[in-house]
Structure 1
Amino acid sequence: MTFLTASSLWWEEKAQFRADHIDQERYLAWLQAVIGKKTPISLIDDSAIARAVARRRSEPVEFRNRDGKLTSPPHLPSSATVNRAVCEPMRAILRRAKKIWKQSVQDIEWSEHWLPEAQERVREASPEEEAALFETMRDDYAPALRFAFLSGCRRAEIVGLTWSRVDFFNREFSVIGKGDRTRPIPMTEEMYRLLWSLKDDHKTAVFTYVCKRPRERQKKGQRYPITIEGFKTAWRRAREKSGIEDFRFHDTRHTTATRLMRATGNLKATQRLLGHTEIATTSRYAHITKDDLRAALEASSNAYADRATKTATENPTGTQTHTAKTK
């Protein structure tokens, strides 16, 4: 089996159904050019993967709008981007080739090729920052952004949400997260009202946009399902107009988790909401409860100090006074 056949099968059977299918299609086209369409997958070894990783790391990333104009200066990709574009699809393709298509593939030391990613920081939006984002976000994309803050869902999970996975009767919905794992999430009252207000916009997709610049088979003014790329563009423009710095879309997820931890101190509930398989991944939010404990201790200490100061002021000699009794 050639790499062209294997990557095409991966697209047909798995990748095209992912919420980030546009990114996946781009990754596969790039890999076909670098690995070689006619390369037998049995010959893909560690050196081939290493060369692909090195090449991807050296190629600048560019963001362009529909007119081909650069929207930001070119920059080298992050380690996370290289892992998603090279290591993740290559590992998935070769694993499926071995397990499902019964092909002969080489043992790859994936841990040697996976680039170390920076420890994910926890960045919470302030109420003022959140309000500023909604002031600048397009009206038709605002519900998706609101849902992100309410649910803590990833961008791909929001884009891929369909009405078939929304249960108004039991007040819950389910999303498909990393590893194609389905995760049920109960609705809050605010989530319920938001989703209910959107139920007549489209037959299948929960979050849609109003077409302003029709493409092939589109009509101006009609609603169509939002896409990863469209959501990215709307988000980027809203963030730039808001003037907020050092805030990524993924930080809406951090904001939800931080608020949940602050309100409940329940790390297990936060893990379930975010869909983490390991509690260690969720433990980055544990500092919230430590901060709250520290604040409580500070308040207790200050209150005790205030009482001690008040007592010392009222009785500077430190001796006990008694009222004389008369016979």
Structure 2
Amino acid sequence: MPFRTAKTKIWQYDIQVRGRRLRGSTGTDDYEEAKAVEAEVRAQAKNSHAERGACTLSQAFGTYHVDICQHQPSAATSASQAKAILKHIPGKTRLDTLTNADLMKMVNRMRASCSNGTVNRRLQYMGRACRHMAKFYGAALPDLNFKAPEVKEAQERIRELSQDEQRRLFEHLPVDLHAPVTFCLMTGCRISTMAGLLWRDVGETEIIFRLKGGTTMTFPISREMRAFLASLPRSNVIEARRFVFTRIDKTTSERTRIVPKGGVFNTEFRQAVADAKIPDFRFHDLRHTFATRMLRQTKNLKLVSQLLGHKDITTTARYAHVLVDDMRAALDDFSPVSGGDPQNFPQSVDATL
């Protein structure tokens, strides 16, 4: 929307159109006229861009961020992914000149400084941004294979919080962080989903979770969850009041929203983990803890997959060790041969097992 500074009565505009930043004066002190001028500038920029059918990588990332990413909890992560890609492929590179060889070179360079998983996620982000420009804005895009350059990722470790570790963690956590950490243990949601949860997304029987990638899922509200939500304090700060989870700002003593990445919340959580002497534990491991506990309780891999919001059940299969442990325990207590207690077999002198 048009704006003006204290030094002038003339309205100014500062807008982004498909990754291009346009700034200038509307030439009028009438607000309605200024809005019309801004709208005309926006329309002209869009039409000019569409006629060319060409788009740079920088414009693609800027447009995708404005259209999609800025509305997601992972907006900061998406911005950092774009920034990292532009270190290897110049932003002025036109999409219609990109080749699969460019993608492979970028991947090989990135692997020298970050994990394979990070490389793959950046590649996937680039693919989404480019396809977005081609689908919605008619940008010329060659037949690029964003999947082929992906590199094999090491299997993610599964770290479950023991009940004793959980007790120690809460003993050292600041009191105002108990609720968000408890919620993640109850739902398995990611930190960005928890921090961005709005009261408008909390219904009578279900919650709408906004996931990475711009998708959503519904999570059922149990009796325990309903009582938990009813106990949460509300912020008296207008900007933060719409968020379900807040923390106390030690400077103002007001409840403010939780910053999911790089903020005070993360620092205090890591400090609590260190003070509780819990080794090799990260915030994301609360999600692992939820998954393993639910799978152990329900024995239902598909159900746990749905609760985690996984699109593919093979992603959930990494927790299958829980079922294997339970099956082993069941076999230890029962003999399929005798139908009762396990039998004792005499050891052969030639046994090699």
Does the pair score TM above 0.5? Answer: yes
Residues 61-76 of structure 1: matches in 2 within 5 Å? none
C-alpha distance in structure 2 between counterparts of 1:305 and 1:45, whole Å: 63
For residues 56 and 277 of structure 1, the distance between their equivalents in structure 2, rounded to whole angstroms, comes to: 27
How far 1:91 moved relative to its partner? 0.9
* 1:278 to 1:37, Cα distance in 2 relative to 1, 3 A: closer
Aligned positions of 1:112-261 closer than 5 A:
112-167=148-203, 169-170=204-205, 172-198=206-232, 200-201=234-235, 202-212=240-250, 220-229=252-261, 230=263, 231-261=265-295
RMSD: 2.4
Question: Percent of aligned pairs with the same residue?
Answer: 34
Q: Deviations over 1:234-274 (max 9, x none)?
A: 33222222222222322211211111121121222111101
Q: Pick from 51, 54, 72: which aligns with 2:105?
A: 51
Q: Deviations over 1:89-127 (max 9, x none)?
A: 211111111111111112222233212111223322110
AA in 2 matched with 1:290:
V
Distance 2:103 2:319 in 1: 35
For 1:100 and 1:52, the matched residues in 2 are separated by 26
Gaps spanning 5+ residues in structure 1: where? 60-76, 214-219, 308-327
| CA drift at 1:83 | 2.3
Between the two proteins, the alignment pairs up a number of residues equal to 281
Equivalent residue of 1:228, what SS? coil
Say which structure is richer in helix: 1
Provide the residue aligned with 1:273 in structure 2. 307
Q: In the TM superposition, what is the alpha-carbon distance from 1:305 to its structure 2 partner? A: 5.9
**Partners of 2:174 and 2:67 in 1: CA distance:** 34
- The amino acid across from 2:230 in the alignment is W
Instruction: Tell me how far 1:151 sits from its aligned partner.
Output: 0.6
When residues 306 and 29 of structure 1 are mapped into structure 2, their CA distance, relative to the original with a 3 A threshold, is closer
Select the structure with the greater relative contact order (CA < 8 A; seq sep ≥ 6): 1
TM-score normalised by L of structure 2: 0.73
Runs of 4+ that moved beyond 4 A: none
Q: Which consecutive unaligned segments of at least 5 residues does structure 2 have?
A: 1-54, 345-353
Structure 2 SS opposite 1:99: helix
